[in-house]
Amino acid sequence: MTRILTGIQSSGKPHLGNILGAIKPSIELSKNSKNESLFFIADLHSLINIKDSKIMNENTLAVAASWIAMGFDHDKNYFYRQSKITEVCELAWYLNCFTPYPMLSNSHSFKDKSDNLSDVNSGLFTYPVLMAADILLYDSEIVPVGKDQKQHLEITRDIAKSFNHNYGETFIIPESKIDKNVQTIPGTDGRKMSKTYENTIDIFADEKSLKKQIMSIVTDSKGLDDKKNPETCNVFNIFKLIASQVEVKEMEKKYTEGGYGYGHAKTHLFNLILELYYDERKLYSELIKNKDHLFNILEKGERKAKIIAEEVLVRVRSRLGY
């Protein structure tokens, strides 16, 4: 069994970009029977930015409901909230004492914000150390992440090696898995789909809001009769990520022939999303209404995860002489 672990940012309801770029590929990986997957909601990392208990709670539930709705098998694997395995904070402290200051001051997560130091809390500064603790606490072997997290994985490996060098083999040195095939998903304005740009398509939103988002996709001003270029059209570029090859060819033909308006293409995209994600949308809306059920699922995962965490910490404490 290969142990796969990844942390999921809990920044609210996942959008199409998150689904195609992260959730689906991770779930695929977890379906391999040779893998054992630990997927957790990184709600301690969220505290760096989110200082509102209601939002914290809602975000956690939305993330949990989406992963389950998209088919993550939480029975076979591990699905938990980072904050519930408090051992991670103890380990993070130990690891802090093996982390050279320059390693953190060179980390992108800090550097990007360091021109305004009064806005930086030490949680942001030590973000990579908590992330190292997330990974090392569970003897993780493979960590699938986006390219932006590559440096954090290198920091994790360096910290683990430094500890092992001092105290003998204690931690497994994890490998990152950066999927180069994952494309950037364009948002409604053609830039990368992201909450920050407010250009997302929220496949779990109610029909009315979803329609509004799709109708807001930016296009050029060609009229109904004009021949259109599919390649430069945001509607087509989103459509082709989810449609079948036949559907893509059909739409391409309509664009190049003319007599097919952007409104038609948007309606087509809207209907395709409703059809394609019918079951997932239904499941999501049922799950999100039933908080107790979601919490029960997470608690079950937390009980299992805690067993591994405790074992590893016993090993670490004894190495340290505590």
Catalytic residue positions?
A: 113, 192, 195
Contact predicate 216/188, CB 8 Å: yes
Query: Strand locations in the chain, DSSP E?
Result: 2-8, 35-41, 78-81, 142-145, 175-178
Report the residue number, 42 or 273, with the smaller CB distance to ligand TRP: 42
Which residues make up the interface to ligand TRP (CB under 6 A)?
A: 5-7, 9, 42, 45, 131, 134-135, 143, 145, 149
- The least distance separating ligand TRP from the CB of residue 14, rounded to whole angstroms, comes to 12
Shortest Å, Cβ 97 to ligand TRP:
20
Phi and psi for 312 in degrees, rounded to 5? -65, -40
Q: Give the nearer residue to ligand TRP in terms of CB position, either 128 or 187.
A: 128
CB of 91 to ligand TRP, least distance (A): 13
* C-alpha to C-alpha distances, 225 to 37, 222, 228, 250, 265, nearest whole angstrom: 51, 8, 9, 17, 13
Provide CB contacts within 8 A for 166, sequence distance 6+: 98
| Residue 43 or 287 with smaller CB distance to ligand TRP | 43
Q: In the bound complex, which residue of the shown chain has the CB atom lying closest to ligand TRP?
A: 7
In angstroms, what is the minimal distance from the CB of 277 to ligand TRP?
A: 23
95 or 210: whose CB is closer to ligand TRP?
95
Length of the chain: 322
Q: What is the DSSP string of 94-112?
A: HHHTTS-HHHHHT-HHHHT
